Amino acid sequence: MKFIEFFSIAIKSLLANKLRSALTMLGMIIGVGAVIVLMSLGTGLQNMIT
């Protein structure tokens, strides 16, 4: 299969399962945000201690 076919299948799947896609994206955004917050807190606390 070619890239265009894979892309077409992916888009159709995203449009067919809108709620699942939205919840997955929300989970990824929350996860990335949590990692960024924890890394920032760690760096900030480390700088405050030293």
Q: What residue has token string 């405050």?
A: 48
Q: What local confidence, expressed as pLDDT, does residue 26 receive?
A: 98
Report the predicted TM-score, pTM, of the whole model to 2 decimal places.
0.72
Contacts of 14 (CB under 8 A, 6+ apart): 21
Dump pLDDT digits (tens) for 1-50.
799 999 999 999 999 999 999 999 999 999 999 999 999 999 999 999 98
Q: What local confidence, expressed as pLDDT, does residue 48 receive?
A: 94
Size of the chain in residues = 50
Q: What local confidence, expressed as pLDDT, does residue 50 receive?
A: 86
Token pair of 21, please? 């896609």
DSSP codes, 6-29: HHHHHHHHHHHTHHHHHHHHHHHH
Contacts of 31 (CB under 8 A, 6+ apart): none
